[in-house]
């Protein structure tokens, strides 16, 4: 099932075949590390204790997490906004899979 989801993301519309997205599957101990990152982000944002706890516990609500990062090429014929939208389409395709 995970492979089908990732495959769907790879088939997203993509101008000039740039594939400006990167998929990261976080599971097992990776969720612990991701929890710490989210906690630090909430603290840095000045969140209250309730929001910090929510951020810290978020990675444990599912057996795994797929994160998508758009890595856009600057000064390319394909504008940045199109590259970002392509990554967004990849997310939508994975949600629909």
**Reported pTM:** 0.78
Distance between CA atoms of 33 and 11, rounded to whole angstroms?
29
- The DSSP annotation for 14-64 comes to -GGG---EEEEEEETHHHHHHHHHHHHHHHHTT--HHHHHHHHHGGGGSSE
How many distinct structural domains can be found in the chain? 1
Helix (H) or strand (E) holding 75: none
Q: What is the CATH number of the domain that holds 82?
A: 3.40.109.10
Neighbours of 90 (CB within 10 A): 25
How crowded is residue 83: how many other Cβ atoms within 10 Å of its Cβ? 23
pLDDT (tens, 9 = 90+) of the chain, 97 residues, equals 999 999 999 999 888 888 889 999 999 999 999 999 999 999 999 999 999 999 999 999 999 999 999 998 887 899 999 999 999 999 999 999 9
Its domain, for residue 23, covers 2-96
């Amino acid at each position: 099932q995970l492979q089908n989801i990732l495959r769907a993301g790879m088939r997203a519309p993509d101008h000039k075949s740039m594939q400006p997205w990167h998929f990261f599957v976080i599971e097992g101990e990776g969720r612990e590390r991701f929890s710490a990152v989210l906690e630090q982000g909430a603290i840095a944002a000045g969140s209250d204790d309730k929001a910090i706890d929510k951020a810290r516990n978020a990675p444990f609500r599912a057996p795994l997490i797929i994160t998508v990062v758009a890595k856009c090429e600057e000064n390319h014929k394909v504008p940045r906004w199109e590259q970002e939208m392509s990554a967004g389409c990849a997310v939508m395709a994975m949600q629909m899979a």
